A and B are shown apart, each in its own frame.
Chain A
Amino acid sequence: DAGVIQSPRHEVTEMGQEVTLRCKPISGHDYLFWYRQTMMRGLELLIYFNNNVPIDDSGMPEDRFSAKMPNASFSTLKIQPSEPRDSAVYFCASSTRTGGFYGYTFGSGTRLTVV
């Protein structure tokens, strides 16, 4: 298995532009999570899905952020319009119950820089 695949690895964009981050979870995993990591705030959960349905989006910072999971193999996190304070590493993780517990597999992350 190729693991959780995120794209792009790096994104540099100008303030005000729309940014779309993509994630392909591990096949068969029924949970998908989006996290954001900054030096100041550490790893924060933004939103998570179960069977493609959003369960908790209370971590989404503002209405400028939106996430979708149109099918079991794809999710997007969109920021529109982007701002410099959105600069961070965004991680996607997927999970399922294996051996009695839910282990998480994280992707390699997308490093977003908004200038």
Chain B
Amino acid sequence: DAKTTQPPSMDCAEGRAANLPCNHSTISGNEYVYWYRQIHSQGPQYIIHGLKNNETNEMASLIITEDRKSSTLILPHATLRDTAVYYCIVRAQSGNTPLVFGKGTRLSVIA
């Protein structure tokens, strides 16, 4: 079973920041938070991951609370092409345990 809880759907206006929450209250000390997204009819795509510090890359920012029980993925300026299902996954860094996908959040970016 997935170890995360996400809202089933969210809307965001084009050009605004999209903030996608994820609850992972049972996360272990050696588990990272990963975010993937799946655009319609395509395979999932890696976005970002982090352990306890905030992370930023060219796609998004990841904010992890100090107690690590929740996180937020931020798309700073959402475009129509960001419409997708976003998956938050917790996973140990050591080894290569397979990704387990939950139901994710369906983000709709509206013009």
Contacts and interface: CB of A to CB of B under 8 A. Distances in A.
B32 to A, nearest CB: 7
A87 to B, nearest CB: 15
A42 B46 contact: no
A42 B104 CA distance: 9
A50 B96 contact: yes
Interface in B56-111: 93, 96, 98-103
Interface residues on B, range: 10 to 19
Interface of chain A: mostly helix, strand, loop or mixed = strand
Is the contact region of chain B dominated by helix, strand, or loop, or is it mixed? loop
B55 to A, nearest CB: 12
B101 A42 contact: yes
A31 B95 CA distance: 11
Given A31-B96, A50-B96, A104 B102 contact: no
